Amino acid sequence: MSSQEYSGSYHSRPRPDLRCHTCDRDFSRPSHLRRHNRIHQPSERKQKIACDKCHSTFSRRDVLFRHMRTAHQLDYVTPTNQQRSCNRCVRRKLKCDRNLPCAACAQSKTAGPCEYPSIDELYDPGFQPEFQIVEPGHDHSIENPPTGKKPRRKKKGNNATSSAQDEQSDFIMRSAQTDQSDFSTTSPETYSTFGQPVDPLLLEADDFSPIFSSEPAFTEENAMFGSSLNNGVQFDFRCSGFNWLDFDAPDVELAINHVVSEVGNPTSDVFSGLAPDNHAPPMSGTQQRASILPWPFEHGHDAGTTRCHLPPLREVLQESLQASPGAQVSALEGLVQVLSEKNLPRPDDVADPTILMGIHLLKKLLDVYFANFQLIQPIFHIPTWSSEDCPTMLLAAMACLGAVLSSEPNAAELSSSISDFCNPIISWMGASDTANYSDTSYLASLCLHQIYSLGSGNRQLYQNADRTRGVLFGSLRGLGLLKTRPSVQGDIDMNSPYFIPTNQASLDADWLAWASREREVRIAWASFEYDCSLCTLTSRRGAVDVSELPPKLPCMDALWEAPSSYAWAALKSRMIPNALGVSVSSVISAAIAGTPILENISTWGKRLCGQVIGRLLWDLKQLELVSTTEYFGLSSLSTGQKQSKESLLEALNRLLETMNNPIYTADLVSYNISSLLCHYSHLYTADDIMDMIIYIVHSVVSRGSGQDPGVSMARRRLVSAFENDPRRARKLVWHAGQIVAVANEYLVSAPCEIMRLFMSYIFIVAFAQHYPRLERPATTFKVRLDVPNHHPDQMQAVEEWIQFGGRARIGSAEDILADGAVKTIVQDAQAMLQRLRSWGLAEKFAKILQSFENSGGY
């Protein structure tokens, strides 16, 4: 057919209305219209592909290739074999969708494994770079392969599906890489028949806010995971993690609007009239910082301190208060005046009613802090603590946490308003006198406010906490509270027998000196737990190395809570020496070896050992990434680390078993946090299953559930993983259900626990949606996944369910695999997160779940 005949027949058919609404230009293909629409987008929304030689940016890959050829004498090399379909579809001449497994192989009951060409078959043996150096003056089209190779043929068609497939196929071909790396996904045995290397999937959350993006799913700069999504063969969903704090939650209306409250206290007048404020105002007083700060390791070595002249703190706080609309209430104005001083004035010395209201508000928030957060981080020695002797910067940080943990209806607004001038106080104190960096009270206030920043849901506060994290840990190192030791047992005091002094003054001095040293150790451990929370929430490497931690755990609770020096001395003289602090290495070694763990360890100490093991597991997961092609292409590390990972997980289980019978509320808090840590560790160390689930949720929330090849691929891989090892899938969903069970029993209000609760729910949703319904077992056996596994009968029932399957109930869903169960589970998750409504992070996760539901994610 001639070109005129073809053109006439083409135009004789009805054409779709493909017109640009901006410039009224007509197009014949949807792909051309989509490409044209990019020129009308603002610069920040345009696709930008950077040249790795000169860092110039381009909007199209063909323009980048032309630039590389003309400016850098580099040309694109095409692989020899163009086969992108699986071997079975090629043999049978079937249409292959190039997934793993593909649709044709998945639907065929007699088909063998869905295999693709190996790397040796796909590429030349010497083919390594994407570009090669060409001689000057040598110019051939990048789109055409070198001589002797078949040119790439494209389908002719005018429908959107065909053009989209053509573009995706071209992009897949351009993205193929040839590094030899290990492929370890759902289980080492599951995909052992596939020998192809794969790339890791990296998330660049720092420079991309996916919620408001309409770009294609697989652009290089905004893909949640890297170029391996487009390799066409198979890819590894293992990734460096996802930063939930840097993810923009969609602005949606929550379907569940009711308020769930455990304690219904009447609203106090001092809490009324507060308006929310999510942005801390800029602080003009800290713009000019000292040019040189003392090196942290010079603390205690006669290093001179640097002082900077700043505006009075009261002026700085007044500016913060005036910048918050609707926050002009007497109580907050009085609180500003109180916190402007170095120490809290005594109520008897105050005549101003506004200041008295501020003192009353502060004391009320401190009471909430000690009733709730002291159980989570017991760093204050209550028998010797006094608000009048405590620096106001520390009182401000405690009040901020007390506000978010209060049962008042407007707790979130109150905590946000207090945070607006809590942050300037801490910054002002550090900038005005760098000697505060060696003050443990200042470091405690820094740690507490950074914990609040993680859970606030405010990106500005989180970024500020991320920036100042180095100040906290650098100062702890400068004080010697964190330091690298040649041996983990090198600095442990043998705790010689204690003889009670006969002099009252000497006894009180010994008690206060011991309490001060113990408080420093506890601040270091609390900072380490904060660092672990930041790692879990952001998937970033921790700032503290395990070898830097204090060599011994905090003392027993009975010593720390002794009401007087006499009681402390009597208890100390009768307790075994280890009661003052057990060696960390001895506890972890016993847990790994399966030997009995010492009894004289506080539940917080056992929880800290669990955090250390969790950090080791996280480090092992990070080491697995270096074996992938987008990192260093090292030989496989997952196989060699399998035994170590299993040993650490078993150690976590043993530590948790020793905490199964809490006596006090503080024991219950530590048990719940350790339970969430243990069960969540089983989830995220299960190869790339959790990574696939995160990818699905993130992609659906960001771009909807439309035609997204990556989401379809992840769903197929998830179904395949559950189908290949159903016992393991049921074991993992049981771990997720136990997180819900622990939260139902006693909900700990802390940022990291909020995230683990959210992750458990999305795992349960993924199981309910993607677990294969091949055939329902004949047994009528049924278990509840959200019941704590305390009783022997429950343990036996769970073991039988994991082994043989059956019906499982969780929350309001009578059967986790029944129709409509997914929607019920999502509603239960939102109701649970509503109980933590004062934390902005909980509201953020609730909106993500609501957006996932609205976008048709299930």
What pLDDT, in 10s, does the model give residues 813-852?
A: 999 998 889 999 999 999 999 888 889 899 889 888 888 8
Instruction: Determine the pLDDT at residue 551.
Output: 92
Which residues contact residue 800 at a Cβ distance below 8 angstroms, ignoring those fewer than 6 apart? 781, 806
Q: What is the mean pLDDT of residues 111-115?
A: 75
DSSP notation for 815-842 = -TTSTTHHHHHHHHHHHHHHTTTTSHHH
Whether residue 611 has pLDDT greater than 90: yes
Tens-digit pLDDT profile for residues 437-462: 999 999 999 999 999 999 988 888 88
Share of the chain above pLDDT 70, in %: 66
Which residues contact residue 603 at a Cβ distance below 8 angstroms, ignoring those fewer than 6 apart? 557, 659, 662, 666, 667, 670, 671
Task: Decide: 414 and 389 in contact? Cβ < 8 Å.
Answer: no
Instruction: Report d(CA 182, CA 171) in Å as an integer.
Output: 24
Type of residue found at 323: A
Instruction: Determine the pLDDT at residue 653.
Output: 95
**Element (H or E) spanning 50, and its range?**
strand 49-50
- Out of 145-154, 517-526, 621-630, 682-691, pick the least confident: 145-154
Instruction: Report d(CA 80, CA 58) in Å as an integer.
Output: 28
Angle at 845 between CA 423 and CA 810, to 5 degrees: 140
Angle at 332 between CA 331 and CA 336, to 5 degrees: 120
In 3D, which of 187, 685, 181, 749 has the Cα closest to residue 452? 749
Instruction: Determine the pLDDT at residue 161.
Output: 39
The residues that bridge with 808 in the sheet, in sequence order, are 783
Instruction: Determine the pLDDT at residue 773.
Output: 79
Task: Decide: 119 and 196 in contact? Cβ < 8 Å.
Answer: yes
The more confidently predicted of residues 612 and 309 is 612
Instruction: Report d(CA 100, CA 85) in Å as an integer.
Output: 10
Instruction: Determine the pLDDT at residue 266.
Output: 33
Question: First CA to last CA across the chain, in angstroms?
Answer: 48
The more confidently predicted of residues 452 and 144 is 452
Q: How confident is the model at residue 312 (pLDDT cuts 50, 70, 90)?
A: low
Whether residue 309 has pLDDT greater than 90: no
Tens-digit pLDDT profile for residues 694-709: 988 888 888 765 667 8
Instruction: Determine the pLDDT at residue 627.
Output: 63
Q: What is the mean pLDDT of residues 754-781?
A: 83
DSSP 345: P
Instruction: Determine the pLDDT at residue 401.
Output: 94
Torsional sign, CA 90, 92, 93, 94: negative
Q: What is the mean pLDDT of residues 796-800?
A: 88
DSSP notation for 125-166 = TT---SEEE--TT----TTSPPTTSPPPP-----SHHHHHHH
Grouping H, G, I as helix, E, B as strand and the rest as coil, residue 642 is: helix
Whether residue 807 has pLDDT greater than 80: yes
Instruction: Report d(CA 761, CA 759) in Å as an integer.
Output: 5
Helix axis angle for 440-455 and 504-538, nearest 10°, is 30
Q: What is the mean pLDDT of residues 88-111?
A: 80
Angle at 699 between CA 692 and CA 627, to 5 degrees: 40
Tens-digit pLDDT profile for residues 235-270: 555 554 566 565 566 666 665 554 333 333 333 333
Instruction: Report d(CA 775, CA 783) in Å as an integer.
Output: 18
Instruction: Determine the pLDDT at residue 575.
Output: 83
The residues that bridge with 810 in the sheet, in sequence order, are 813
Task: Decide: 157 and 79 in contact? Cβ < 8 Å.
Answer: no
Instruction: Report d(CA 372, CA 294) in Å as an integer.
Output: 37
Q: How confident is the model at residue 135 (pLDDT cuts 50, 70, 90)?
A: very low
Instruction: Report d(CA 732, CA 763) in Å as an integer.
Output: 9
Instruction: Report d(CA 78, CA 132) in Å as an integer.
Output: 10
Grouping H, G, I as helix, E, B as strand and the rest as coil, residue 14 is: coil
Q: How many residues does the structure list for the chain?
A: 858
In 3D, which of 679, 754, 762, 757 has the Cα closest to residue 714? 762
The more confidently predicted of residues 438 and 46 is 438
Whether residue 165 has pLDDT greater than 60: no
**Element (H or E) spanning 75, and its range?**
strand 74-76
Tens-digit pLDDT profile for residues 548-606: 999 999 999 999 999 999 999 999 888 887 888 899 999 999 999 999 988 789 999 99
Whether residue 102 has pLDDT greater than 80: yes
Q: How confident is the model at residue 208 (pLDDT cuts 50, 70, 90)?
A: very low
DSSP 579: G
Q: What is the 3-state secondary structure (H, E, C) of 369-398?
A: HHHHHHHHCCCCCHHHCCCCCCEHHHHHHH
Whether residue 168 has pLDDT greater than 50: no
Q: How confident is the model at residue 785 (pLDDT cuts 50, 70, 90)?
A: very high
Q: What is the mean pLDDT of residues 65-73?
A: 77
Highest mean pLDDT among 109-113, 465-469, 510-514: 510-514
In 3D, which of 446, 464, 466, 436 has the Cα closest to residue 533? 466
Instruction: Determine the pLDDT at residue 46.
Output: 59
Q: Which residue has the tokens 């929430």?
A: 537
Tens-digit pLDDT profile for residues 13-30: 455 568 887 787 888 888
Task: Decide: 648 and 611 in contact? Cβ < 8 Å.
Answer: no
Instruction: Report d(CA 684, CA 696) in Å as an integer.
Output: 15
- Out of 224-238, 551-565, 732-746, pick the least confident: 224-238
In 3D, which of 379, 501, 370 has the Cα closest to residue 441? 379
The more confidently predicted of residues 345 and 753 is 753
How many CA atoms lie within 13 Å of 315's alpha carbon, on the beta-carbon side?
6
Q: What is the mean pLDDT of residues 42-71?
A: 74
Q: How confident is the model at residue 756 (pLDDT cuts 50, 70, 90)?
A: very high
Q: What is the mean pLDDT of residues 324-351?
A: 73
Instruction: Determine the pLDDT at residue 87.
Output: 86
Which residues contact residue 406 at a Cβ distance below 8 angstroms, ignoring those fewer than 6 apart? 365, 368, 414, 838
Task: State residue 76 phi and psi, 5-degree precision.
Answer: -80, 135
Q: How confident is the model at residue 134 (pLDDT cuts 50, 70, 90)?
A: very low
Type of residue found at 718: L
- Out of 293-307, 614-628, 666-680, pick the least confident: 293-307
In 3D, which of 84, 87, 80 has the Cα closest to residue 125? 80
Task: Decide: 426 and 449 in contact? Cβ < 8 Å.
Answer: yes
Type of residue found at 520: E
Tens-digit pLDDT profile for residues 368-402: 999 999 999 999 999 999 998 999 999 999 999 99
DSSP 503: S
Mean pLDDT of the chain, nearest integer = 74
For the chain, helix (H) and strand (E) counts, in that order, are: 28, 6
Whether residue 427 has pLDDT greater than 70: yes
The more confidently predicted of residues 653 and 258 is 653
Whether residue 48 has pLDDT greater than 50: yes
The more confidently predicted of residues 693 and 277 is 693
Tens-digit pLDDT profile for residues 334-346: 888 888 888 888 8
Instruction: Report d(CA 527, CA 519) in Å as an integer.
Output: 12
Instruction: Determine the pLDDT at residue 104.
Output: 84
Highest mean pLDDT among 285-289, 363-367, 697-701: 363-367
Instruction: Report d(CA 14, CA 233) in Å as an integer.
Output: 38
In 3D, which of 222, 248, 243, 224 has the Cα closest to residue 41? 222
Share of the chain above pLDDT 90, in %: 31
Instruction: Determine the pLDDT at residue 234.
Output: 47
Instruction: Report d(CA 591, CA 651) in Å as an integer.
Output: 5
Instruction: Determine the pLDDT at residue 63.
Output: 80
In 3D, which of 387, 531, 571 has the Cα closest to residue 451? 531
Which residues contact residue 448 at a Cβ distance below 8 angstroms, ignoring those fewer than 6 apart? 377, 394, 397, 398, 400, 401
Q: How confident is the model at residue 650 (pLDDT cuts 50, 70, 90)?
A: very high
**Both tokens of residue 373?**
């957060």
Torsional sign, CA 295, 298, 299, 304: negative
Longest dimension (CA), the chain: 113
